């Protein structure tokens, strides 16, 4: 059986190993604030080796505008108080500020006198950055929800004005909200960074079963989120109109959707929907196109949201909707 001294030495060695291998910085200092021990985690956090810090003032780590914290901590330690965990900032050897959580406790000698303090330091920089990102995300989500609530209110209001029955209203509302959700799904899959024009148009046309009836052509353009939502709604309205009166209704004719970048004094997006069919009731179709909710989206909402202009024309069996908008209003900022 080992002696008391041997047991004491073993306990001290075990304690030293625990301190040295801790993930938290563990530092001790005397009552003047000079460092007396410095573990490996502290080296990792601050960039100073134990040799560089032992004997030096702990104030080296404290930003100028936080120096009063050390005065308060030392005063409380001298009174034998434990300073419970609090969050603050410290400076690394390279001059970077890091966020830390500190807990400070008195150190006593064999006679019970307070001779210094121990600090447990936890680097919470990553946690604080995550908190900041969450706050930014929540603000952004709140902003987007309010914007989409306004869009949905507009859809409901304008659809109600033009619906002939409750069933018609319910069908059209469901269809338009689904189209909006389709654009949202594209944005969510890209962390709301944007979506490609081709993917947006294909997704909006998919419910209409357009195999062999639609020709798509254009460069790879990554649209900004607001452009995705508004162009998506415009394509949905054009497809809905076609399903009632045009190519999608008869499965005869052809739809061509093309987009290009036109480079003039100010580069702009030119998006064109061209539909050729033999609609039997042109007058009825034209009237609805001019007065329906679709015209509000196609001729007012979509172009104004992109600071652009749009036109709708018909020449015999050919119908054309065309949108012109400044390129910098349509594309993601990093793709302009």
pLDDT value, residue 289: 47
Domain harbouring 76, CATH code: 3.30.450.20
Q: Do residues 147 and 74 share a domain?
A: no
pLDDT at position 80 over 50? yes
pLDDT at position 308 over 90? yes
Region for 307 from its dihedrals, namely left if φ exceeds 0, alpha if ψ lies in -120 to 50, beta otherwise: left
pLDDT at position 16 over 60? no
Q: Do residues 206 and 227 share a domain?
A: yes
Q: Which residue range is the domain that position 83 belongs to?
A: 4-123
Q: Which residues pair with 98 in a beta bridge?
A: 90
Q: Which of 34-48, 55-69, 184-198 has the lowest mean pLDDT?
A: 184-198
Q: Do residues 171 and 220 share a domain?
A: yes
Pairing between β-strand 254-262 and β-strand 214-217 as defined by DSSP bridges: parallel
Q: Do residues 206 and 279 share a domain?
A: yes
Q: Do residues 85 and 13 share a domain?
A: yes
Instruction: Kindly report the length of the chain.
Output: 336
Q: Do residues 243 and 294 share a domain?
A: yes
pLDDT value, residue 285: 47
pLDDT at position 1 over 60? no
Domain harbouring 219, CATH code: 3.30.565.10
pLDDT value, residue 287: 43
Q: Measured in whole angstroms, how far is the alpha carbon of residue 288 from the centre of its chain?
A: 40
pTM for the full predicted model = 0.61
| Domain endpoint, select from 123, 156, 180 | 123
**CA neighbor of 27 nearest in space, from 126, 107, 98:** 107
For residue 207, the 8-state DSSP code is G
Q: Do residues 147 and 267 share a domain?
A: yes
Q: Do residues 133 and 109 share a domain?
A: no
Give how many domains the chain has, as a whole number: 2
Q: Which of 184-188, 236-240, 308-312 has the lowest mean pLDDT?
A: 184-188
Using pLDDT thresholds of 50, 70 and 90, give the confidence band for residue 316: confident
HSE, CB side, 13 Å, CA atoms: give it for residue 168.
8
| Domain endpoint, select from 74, 92, 123 | 123
User: pLDDT digits over 252-279, tens only?
Assistant: 899 999 999 999 888 999 999 999 976 5
pLDDT value, residue 129: 86
Q: Do residues 101 and 248 share a domain?
A: no
CB atoms within 10 A of CB 63: 13
Which residue in the block uniquely carries the two structure tokens 């989206």?
Answer: 297
Higher confidence at residue 217 or residue 194? 217
HSE, CB side, 13 Å, CA atoms: give it for residue 161.
10
Q: Do residues 272 and 320 share a domain?
A: yes
Q: Do residues 166 and 276 share a domain?
A: yes
Cβ contacts of 13 within 8 Å, gap of 6 or more:
none
Q: Do residues 257 and 177 share a domain?
A: yes
Pairing between β-strand 318-326 and β-strand 214-217 as defined by DSSP bridges: unpaired
Q: Which of 126-140, 199-213, 306-320, 321-335 has the lowest mean pLDDT?
A: 126-140
> Could you give the percent of the chain with pLDDT greater than 70?
84
pLDDT value, residue 314: 87
In the structure encoding, which two tokens stand for residue 197, read together? 């024009």
Residues 132 and 138: their CA atoms lie apart, in Å, by 10
| Domain endpoint, select from 123, 153, 174 | 123
273 CB-contact burial (10 Å; exposed 0-12 / middle 13-18 / buried 19+): buried
Write the CA distances from 335 to 140, 208, 223, 308, integer angstroms: 21, 31, 9, 19
HSE, CB side, 13 Å, CA atoms: give it for residue 149.
6
pLDDT at position 199 over 80? yes
């Amino acid at each position: 059986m080992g002696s008391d001294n041997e047991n004491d030495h073993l306990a001290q060695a075990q304690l030293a190993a625990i301190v040295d291998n801790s993930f938290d910085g563990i530092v001790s200092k005397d009552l003047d604030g000079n460092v007396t021990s410095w573990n490996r985690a502290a080296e990792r956090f601050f960039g100073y080796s134990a040799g560089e810090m032992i004997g030096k003032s702990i104030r080296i780590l404290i930003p100028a505008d936080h120096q009063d914290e050390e005065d308060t901590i030392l005063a409380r330690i001298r009174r034998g108080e434990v300073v419970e965990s609090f969050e603050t900032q410290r400076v690394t050897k390279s001059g970077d500020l890091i966020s830390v959580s500190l807990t400070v406790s008195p150190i006593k000698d064999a006679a019970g006198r307070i001779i210094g303090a121990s600090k447990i330091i936890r680097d919470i920089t990553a946690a604080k950055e995550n908190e900041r990102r969450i706050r930014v995300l929540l603000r952004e989500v709140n902003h987007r929800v309010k914007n989409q609530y306004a869009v949905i209110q507009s859809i409901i209001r304008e659809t109600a004005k033009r619906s002939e029955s409750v069933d018609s209203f319910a069908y059209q509302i469901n269809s338009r909200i689904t189209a909006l959700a389709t654009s949202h799904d594209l944005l969510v899959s890209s962390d709301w960074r944007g979506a490609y024009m081709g993917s947006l148009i294909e997704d909006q046309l998919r419910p209409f079963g357009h195999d062999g009836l639609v020709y798509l052509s254009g460069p790879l353009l990554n649209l900004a989120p607001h452009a995705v939502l508004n162009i998506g709604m415009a394509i949905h309205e054009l497809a809905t109109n076609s399903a009632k009166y045009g190519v999608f209704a008869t499965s005869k004719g052809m739809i061509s959707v093309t987009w290009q970048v036109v480079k003039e004094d100010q580069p702009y997006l030119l998006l064109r929907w061209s539909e050729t069919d033999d609609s039997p009731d042109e007058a009825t179709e034209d009237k609805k196109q001019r007065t329906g909710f679709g015209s509000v989206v196609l001729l007012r909402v979509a172009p104004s949201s992109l600071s652009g202009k749009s036109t709708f024309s018909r020449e015999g069996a050919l119908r054309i909707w065309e949108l012109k908008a400044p390129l910098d209003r349509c594309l993601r900022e990093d793709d302009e």
